[in-house]
Amino acid sequence: MAVGLLGNKIGMTQIFDESGNIIPVTILKVGPCVITQIKTQLNDGYNSIQIGYGNVSSNKLTQPELGHLKKFDLQPLRYLKEFRVNETEEFEIGQVLNVDAFESGQLVNIRGKSVGKGFSGLQKRHNFSRGPMTHGSKNHRAPGSIGMGTTPGRVLPGKKMAGQLGNKIATIRKLKIIQINSEENILVIKGSVPGKPGNLLSIVPSE
C-alpha cells in the first residue's frame, strides 16, 4: 500500500469539461499531513508510515497521545493513521505531505464512514420485494417466514433482516482526480465519496 493522505469532504458540485459535458465532482480538503512515526521491519516486524492530520488544542488529547507526539516535538494532531509501505528510507519524522503527492488524472481509493440511515426495513436495506397490496393481503412490507419449522428449529446466522443501515466504513475504488489546488490543499474528484460534508476520509493511490 502506498502512503495516503487524510482529509475532509467539503461537498459536491458539477463542472464542465472542454467538450461541454457535465461532470459530477466531490470537493475534498486534503492535508497537510505530518509523518508522526516510522515503523521498520527490523524494529516492528513490518514497514509502515504513521501520519497525523488536523491541528487541535492539547487539552483535546489524552496524555499518551500527547506523549507520542511530543517525543518528536510535533504539534497536537487530532487523527493518526498508519499506511503500509515497501520502503521507509525516503521518509522522515516531521515531514509534511500535501496534495502535491497526487497528480491530475490519477486514480485513487477513498475510504470513509458512510451516511447512517438508522433502523431500516427489508425493502430499503436489502432490496426485498414487497407483498401484494390488494385482495385483503396484510403482508405489505413484512419479512414473512424467516426460518424452517421443526428442523433446525431456529433462525440461521446471517439471515437478512431489518436493522442498522449505513454508518459503516466504505471504500470507493478508482476515482479519478480532475483538478488539484495546491494553494488551498483541494482535490476535485470525479463521482461521489462516502459520508456527509465534513466526513473524515482516507485518500490512497489506487494500485
**Position 1 pLDDT exceeds 80:** no
Contact 197, 115 (CB under 8 A): no
- Burial letters for 108-134: b for 16+ Cβ neighbours within 10 Å, e otherwise? bbbbbbbeeeeeebbeebeeeeeeeee
Question: Tell me: domain 5-115+168-205, CATH 2.40.30.10, correct?
Answer: yes
Q: Is 93 helix (H, G, I), strand (E, B) or coil?
A: coil
Could you read off the pLDDT of 24-52 as tens digits, one per residue? 999 999 979 999 999 988 888 899 999 99
Cell of 103: 497528480
Q: How does residue 195 score in pLDDT terms, banded at 50, 70 and 90?
A: very high
Could you read off the pLDDT of 134-174 as tens digits, one per residue? 999 999 999 988 988 888 889 999 999 999 999 999 999 99
Per DSSP, which regions of the chain are E strands?
Answer: 5-16, 22-30, 33-39, 48-55, 77-84, 96-97, 107-113, 119-120, 163-164, 169-181, 186-190, 200-205
Q: How does residue 15 score in pLDDT terms, banded at 50, 70 and 90?
A: very high
Could you read off the pLDDT of 48-67 as tens digits, one per residue? 999 999 888 888 889 998 99
**∠118-131-121 over CA atoms, to 5°?**
5
**Position 71 pLDDT exceeds 90:** no
**Position 23 pLDDT exceeds 90:** yes
Contact 79, 203 (CB under 8 A): no
Contact 4, 175 (CB under 8 A): no
The pTM assigned to this predicted structure is 0.83
**Position 112 pLDDT exceeds 90:** yes
Q: How does residue 72 score in pLDDT terms, banded at 50, 70 and 90?
A: confident
Contact 72, 36 (CB under 8 A): yes
Bridge partner residues of 170 (DSSP): 112
Q: How does residue 188 score in pLDDT terms, banded at 50, 70 and 90?
A: very high
- Alpha-carbon distance 3 to 10, whole Å? 22
* CB count in 10 Å sphere of residue 95: 14
* CB count in 10 Å sphere of residue 158: 6
* Residues with Cβ within 8 Å of residue 155, at least 6 apart in sequence: 146, 147
Bridge partner residues of 201 (DSSP): 7, 112
The mean pLDDT of the chain is: 91
Q: How does residue 123 score in pLDDT terms, banded at 50, 70 and 90?
A: very high
* Residues with Cβ within 8 Å of residue 174, at least 6 apart in sequence: 107, 108, 109, 206
